[in-house]
Amino acid sequence: MTGASRGIGAAIARGLAEDGWAVGVNYRSDSDGAEEVVSQLEAAGGQALAIQADVSDPDAADALFPPLEERFGPVLVLVNNAGVRVDGLAPQMEDEAWDKVLATNLSGAFRLTRRALRGMMRARFGRIVNISSIVGQRANPGQANYAASKAGLIAFTSTVAAEVARRSVTVNAVAPGLVETELTKDIGDEMLQAIPARRAGTPEEVAACVRFLVSQEASYVNGTTLTVDGGMTA
């Protein structure tokens, strides 16, 4: 899974390992965090491997998949979690800020999904979960690039799901609201007033949704987006 060295990604990695999956812990720059996650998973009896790759790089899939396939066999579960934010109002947003966010959040997920589907379709089993955001479903001024990437991820999810469903491959999205992570630490407490639950979510609550979508019990859930936001978009 991508972006697994901390926050939501690390929580998902732990959850999948608890369910018996061998986990590839991808990271871009936080090698210490990724190795710590691997150590935690192995200490709990799981199998894990840390792999460095920047998913915005068109060649990232070639760096990620071979080591995992050599050690663990075919990749039958992919969680596209890697994401970045470069916020700013649209009239002042530079091309670089737009391109950076779209390259990581959307194009990276596309390329890794394309690569993963090869083995999944041959095996006639696969689970892909894309971590989107409620920002992809509702306006959030100052995040035109982030919102576009996450909305695009939702549309991408449903389209690919329809393309591969006959091969027993499911493709779903999870759209978290405000979750306590490094990525959201600079968002003010006033946002809590807009959440009916009056609290932020936890990475583990998002991970629980991913674990369900990856499970056999979710084999008939396909092309959907599961919102995890404490009622914010209700």
Cβ partners under 8 Å of residue 111, min gap 6: 55, 58, 60, 61
Measured CA distances, 176 to 38, 67, 131, 132, 231 (Å): 24, 30, 8, 7, 11
Q: What does the pLDDT read at residue 184?
A: 66
pLDDT, tens digit, for every residue of 186-230?
666 677 888 999 889 999 999 999 999 999 999 999 999 999 999
C-alpha span between 3 and 81 (Å, rounded): 5
With a cut of 50, which residues of the chain have pLDDT below it? none
Residues serving a catalytic function are 146
Residue whose C-alpha is closest to residue 205's, from 181, 175, 228, 223: 228
- Predicted TM-score of the model (pTM): 0.95
> Kind of pairing, strands 77-80 and 126-131?
parallel
Q: What does the pLDDT read at residue 177?
A: 95
Cβ partners under 8 Å of residue 123, min gap 6: 74, 76
- Decide: residue 75, CB within 10 A, 0-12 exposed, 13-18 middle, 19+ buried: buried
Kindly give the residue spans of alpha helices, DSSP state H, lying in the chain: 7-18, 31-43, 60-72, 95-102, 108-123, 144-164, 203-214
CATH code of the domain occupying 7-228: 3.40.50.720
Q: What does the pLDDT read at residue 193?
A: 83
Q: What does the pLDDT read at residue 107?
A: 98
C-alpha span between 138 and 221 (Å, rounded): 23
